[in-house]
């Protein structure tokens, strides 16, 4: 694996901790999504199954959409991302209309 060769184990550990502590900042699902995807690539061994990655992603979503994304039971990361993004866009539009 390339990360084994170019990224010291201590650095990987830091990334793993960052993944577990990361959450969406405000309503910026897009930045959170990109960040999680980058870290997940570096910390591949943390996510032996796609469902592990989806679970971590959903845990960092804002409360206002997290339950709905969880209930949708997305199996693939891309599907979870698309669903979360669509929901957040709807929430932001609803808030803007008030």
Give the CB-side neighbour count of residue 64, counting CA atoms within 13 A.
16
- The answer to whether 36 and 97 are in contact (CB under 8 A) is no
pLDDT tens readout for residues 7-60: 677 888 888 888 888 999 999 999 999 999 988 888 888 888 999 999 999 999
CA 78/CA 27 separation, integer angstroms: 19
Residue-range domain boundaries for the chain = 2-97
Higher model confidence: residue 41 or residue 69? 69
pLDDT level of residue 4 (50, 70, 90 thresholds):
low
What secondary structure does DSSP assign to 17-83, as a single string? HHHHH----TT-HHHHHHHHHHHHHHTGGG-SSHHHHHHHHHHTS-HHHHHHHHHTT--SHHHHHHH
| Whole-structure pTM value | 0.84
Q: What are phi and psi of 47, to 5 degrees?
A: -125, 75
Three-class secondary structure of residue 6 per DSSP: helix
Higher model confidence: residue 87 or residue 17? 87
């Amino acid at each position: 694996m390339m990360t084994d060769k170019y990224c010291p184990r201590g650095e990987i550990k830091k990334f793993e901790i960052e993944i577990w502590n990361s959450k969406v900042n405000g309503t910026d699902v897009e930045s959170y999504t990109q960040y999680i995807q980058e870290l997940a690539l570096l910390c591949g061994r943390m996510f032996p199954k796609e469902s592990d990655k989806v679970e971590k992603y959903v845990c960092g979503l804002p409360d206002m959409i997290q339950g709905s994304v969880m209930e949708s039971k997305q199996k693939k990361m891309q599907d979870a991302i698309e669903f979360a993004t669509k929901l957040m866009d709807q929430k932001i539009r609803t808030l803007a209309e008030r």
